[in-house]
Amino acid sequence: MAHGLNRSLQVAIEHDGERILARYGDKWLDLKRNGATVSWEREDGSQGIVELTEAGRLKSNSAEQEMDLAAEAWARELMR
C-alpha cells in the first residue's frame, strides 16, 4: 500500500518483475516493462510508451525526466 502525504489515501500496488499495477478506487495505472520500453495504460483508456534511458530516466516523445518525478506525477494524477 502507498499512502498520501496530506490525506489518509491508500493505493493498492501489485507487481512482479515486468508489471506494476496501481489501484485507487475505480482508478488504476498499469505499467508493463519489456526491456527498456515501458507501456502504460489508465482506466480511462489513455495509454503511452516511455523508454528507460541508461541514466535511469524516463523518456517519452515530448520529454525526459527523472524516474521518481514521473512516478510522483502518475501518483498525483491517480489519487485525484
Q: What does pTM read for this prediction?
A: 0.79
The owner of cell 510522483 is 72
Please count the structural domains in the chain. 1
Domain ranges, residue 45: 2-78
pLDDT in tens, the chain (80 residues): 444 445 566 889 999 989 999 999 899 999 999 999 999 999 999 999 999 999 989 998 888 999 898 888 888 888 88
Give the whole-angstrom CA distance, residue 62 versus residue 60. 5
